[in-house]
C-alpha cells in the first residue's frame, strides 16, 4: 500500500468515525483535526469554495446525514432552552460547530462555516446577491418555492420556501447592532435583546422555512445567519474582555443556569462554550469583495425608524396594537428598553416566527 493510499484510507476512516459520532450524538465538538479554521463571509470565499460548500451541504442533506441536526433544533427537549433563554447564543454556537465538523470531515473543506453579514445588506436586503441564482437562489413569488440554484427542489431534497416580508424594508445596521451589543450590558440582557430583535427580524423578514423553527434549518441561510450571530456574540465577548462574562440566573421552567451547566445534547459546559478557542475556529473580518457585493454601500443609520410593524406580529394579545408594538420596537432601536420591565407578551410577535 502506497503512502497516498494509506493516507486516503485513514482520512476516510476518520470521516466515517466522525459521521458515526454525529448520528449517535456523541461528537466531540472540541476536536481539532483540521487545526484552526477560518470563517469568512460567504461573499469573501472564492467561487470554487462557495460551490464546494453548497455542494457539500446538499450532498449531506440528500444522504440524510443532517437529519439529527434538524431533529435537535425542532425537538421540544432542546428547543425549550435553546430559545428565549440565556442559552440561546451558546446553544447555537455548539449547533453550528456540529455541522462544521461534519462538513470538514466529509467534504475535505479547507475553510470553516461561512457567515452572512446581513448588516451590510441592511438598507436593501432584498437586492442582496445572497438571493441570486449564483448564491442561494431566487424564489417563485406565487408558490414561494426556491426555484434556482443548487438549493432548488430536485437537486436538494427539501422544497424550501421564502416569502419576503417587504414591510420589513431593512435589517439592523452596523450602528444599530453596536447599540444592541453594548459591552456594558449583562450577558443575559445582551442575549435576550439580540435574540428578540436583530436575530428575530431576519427570520421573520425572510419568511417561509426561516419563519418556522422546526424546519428553519432546512434553509442553508439559517446556518449562515446563525454563524453571523455567533460572530457578533464573539465580538461582544472580545470587547472589553467580556469572554467569561456570564450571569447565572433562573429562567423559564425554573431552570437554574450556571457556568457548570451542561449544554445538551453535546455535554459541553457553559464555561467551555464561552471560549471560542476551544472550538478551533477564528473569524475573518469582512474583505473588500464582500463589501463590493453588498446590496447597498450607503448605510442609512436612521432607516430602521421607518419600519412598519405588521399588526399580526402581536396577535393574539388583546392589549397589543400598532402603538404599543411601535413603541417597544422604537425602544429596542434606541437602546432604551429595559427588558426586565417590558411585558414579554409584547414580543409574541417574535415567538410566532417559530410556530
Residue 276 has pLDDT above 90, yes or no: yes
Same domain, 106 and 146: yes
Residues facing 41 on adjacent strands: 115
H helix intervals, the chain: 3-24, 47-62, 67-74, 76-82, 88-107, 174-180, 187-194, 200-206, 213-216, 220-238, 270-273, 288-292, 322-333, 348-351
> What is the Cβ-side half-sphere exposure of residue 228, based on CA atoms within 13 angstroms?
22
Same domain, 217 and 280: yes
- Chain centroid to Cα 225, Å, comes to 4
Q: What is the pLDDT of residues 78-107, one digit of tens each?
A: 787 788 888 899 999 999 999 999 999 999
Residues facing 326 on adjacent strands: none
Average pLDDT, the chain: 77
Q: What is the pLDDT of residues 127-143, one digit of tens each?
A: 999 999 999 999 999 99
Q: Tell me, what DSSP letter sits at residue 281?
A: E
Same domain, 296 and 341: no
Residue 5 has pLDDT above 80, yes or no: no
Residue 24 has pLDDT above 80, yes or no: no
Domain count, the chain: 2
Q: What is the pLDDT of residues 26-81, one digit of tens each?
A: 578 877 878 899 999 999 999 999 999 999 999 999 999 999 999 999 887 778 77
Same domain, 238 and 343: no
Cell triple for 206: 425572510
Residue 266 has pLDDT above 70, yes or no: yes
DSSP structure string for 139-171 = B-TTT-BB-SSTTSBTTBSS--B----TT----
Q: What is the pLDDT of residues 171-197, one digit of tens each?
A: 999 888 988 888 788 888 888 889 989
Residue 280 has pLDDT above 70, yes or no: yes
Report the pLDDT value the prediction gives residue 105, as an integer from 0 to 100: 92
What CA–CA distance (Å, rounded) separates 218 from 208? 11
Q: Going by C-beta distance under 8 Å and a sequence separation of 6 or more, which residues neighbour residue 220?
A: 54, 57, 136, 151
Report the pLDDT value the prediction gives residue 294, as an integer from 0 to 100: 76
Same domain, 324 and 230: no
* CB contact at 8 A, 111 and 45: yes
Report the pLDDT value the prediction gives residue 39, as an integer from 0 to 100: 97
Burial class of 3 by CB neighbour count within 10 A (0 to 12, 13 to 18, 19+): exposed
Cell triple for 331: 425602544
The terminus-to-terminus CA distance of the chain in angstroms comes to 55
Same domain, 292 and 315: no
What CA–CA distance (Å, rounded) separates 194 from 174? 13
Arithmetic mean of pLDDT, 16-27: 46
**340 or 350: which leads in pLDDT:** 350
Phi, psi of 146 (to 5 degrees): -65, 125
Same domain, 162 and 283: yes
Phi, psi of 162 (to 5 degrees): -135, 140
> What is the Cβ-side half-sphere exposure of residue 237, based on CA atoms within 13 angstroms?
19
Report the pLDDT value the prediction gives residue 295, as an integer from 0 to 100: 62
Confidence of residue 1 (pLDDT cuts 50, 70, 90): low
Residue 293 has pLDDT above 80, yes or no: no
Choose among 308, 323, 322, 314: nearest CA to 345. Answer: 314
Arithmetic mean of pLDDT, 104-117: 95
CATH no. for residue 57? 1.10.1280.10
Same domain, 220 and 336: no
Residue 215 has pLDDT above 70, yes or no: yes
Report the pLDDT value the prediction gives residue 250, as an integer from 0 to 100: 60
What CA–CA distance (Å, rounded) separates 132 from 152? 12
Q: Going by C-beta distance under 8 Å and a sequence separation of 6 or more, which residues neighbour residue 68?
A: 22, 23, 25
Q: Which of 263, 280, 300 is the C-terminal boundary of a domain?
A: 300
Same domain, 315 and 293: no
Cell triple for 161: 420556501
Same domain, 226 and 207: yes
Q: Which of 259, 282, 300 is the C-terminal boundary of a domain?
A: 300
Q: For residue 316, say if its preceding peptide bond is cis, omega within 30 degrees of 0.
A: yes
- Pairing mode, strands 249-251 and 255-257: antiparallel
Same domain, 198 and 284: yes
In angstroms, the Cα distances linking 197 to 6, 105, 179, 181 are: 51, 35, 12, 11
Roughly what angle, to the nearest 10 degrees, separates helices 187-194 and 220-238? 150
Q: Going by C-beta distance under 8 Å and a sequence separation of 6 or more, which residues neighbour residue 133?
A: 148, 149
Query: Residue 33 sits in which domain range?
Result: 3-300
Residue 300 has pLDDT above 60, yes or no: no
Same domain, 192 and 274: yes
Amino acid at each position: 500500500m502506497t503512502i497516498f493510499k494509506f493516507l486516503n484510507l485513514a482520512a476516510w476512516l476518520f470521516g466515517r468515525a466522525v459521521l458515526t459520532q454525529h448520528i449517535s450524538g456523541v461528537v466531540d465538538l472540541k476536536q481539532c483535526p483540521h487545526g484552526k479554521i477560518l470563517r469568512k463571509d460567504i461573499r469573501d470565499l472564492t467561487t470554487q469554495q462557495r460551490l464546494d460548500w453548497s455542494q457539500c451541504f446538499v450532498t449531506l442533506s440528500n444522504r440524510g446525514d443532517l437529519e439529527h441536526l434538524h431533529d435537535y433544533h425542532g425537538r421540544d427537549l432542546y428547543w425549550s432552552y435553546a430559545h428565549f433563554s440565556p442559552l440561546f447564543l451558546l446553544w447555537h454556537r455548539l449547533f453550528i460547530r456540529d455541522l462544521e465538523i461534519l462538513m470538514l470531515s466529509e467534504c475535505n473543506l479547507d475553510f470553516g462555516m461561512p457567515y452572512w453579514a446581513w448588516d451590510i445588506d441592511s438598507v436593501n436586503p432584498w437586492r442582496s446577491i445572497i438571493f441570486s441564482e449564483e448564491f442561494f437562489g431566487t424564489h417563485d413569488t406565487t408558490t414561494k418555492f426556491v426555484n434556482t440554484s443548487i438549493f432548488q427542489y430536485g437537486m436538494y431534497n427539501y422544497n424550501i420556501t421564502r416569502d419576503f416580508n417587504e414591510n420589513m424594508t431593512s435589517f439592523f445596521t452596523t450602528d444599530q447592532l453596536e447599540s444592541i451589543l453594548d459591552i456594558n450590558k449583562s450577558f443575559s440582557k445582551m442575549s435576550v435583546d439580540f435574540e428578540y430583535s436583530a436575530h428575530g427580524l431576519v427570520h421573520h423578514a425572510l419568511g417561509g422555512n426561516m419563519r418556522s423553527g422546526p424546519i428553519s434549518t432546512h434553509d442553508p441561510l439559517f446556518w449562515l445567519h446563525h454563524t453571523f450571530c455567533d460572530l457578533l456574540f464573539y465580538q461582544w465577548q472580545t470587547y472589553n474582555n467580556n469572554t467569561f462574562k456570564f450571569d447565572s440566573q433562573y429562567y423559564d421552567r425554573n431552570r437554574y443556569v450556571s457556568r457548570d451547566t451542561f449544554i445538551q445534547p453535546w455535554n459541553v459546559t457553559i464555561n467551555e462554550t464561552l471560549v471560542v478557542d476551544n472550538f478551533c475556529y477564528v473569524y475573518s473580518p469582512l474583505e473588500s469583495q464582500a463589501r463590493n457585493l453588498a446590496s447597498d454601500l450607503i448605510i442609512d443609520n436612521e432607516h430602521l425608524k421607518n419600519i412598519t410593524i405588521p399588526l399580526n406580529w402581536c396577535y393574539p394579545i388583546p392589549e397589543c396594537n400598532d402603538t404599543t408594538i411601535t413603541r417597544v420596537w422604537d425602544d429596542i432601536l434606541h437602546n432604551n428598553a429595559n427588558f426586565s420591565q417590558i411585558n414579554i407578551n409584547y414580543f409574541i410577535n417574535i415567538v410566532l416566527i417559530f410556530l
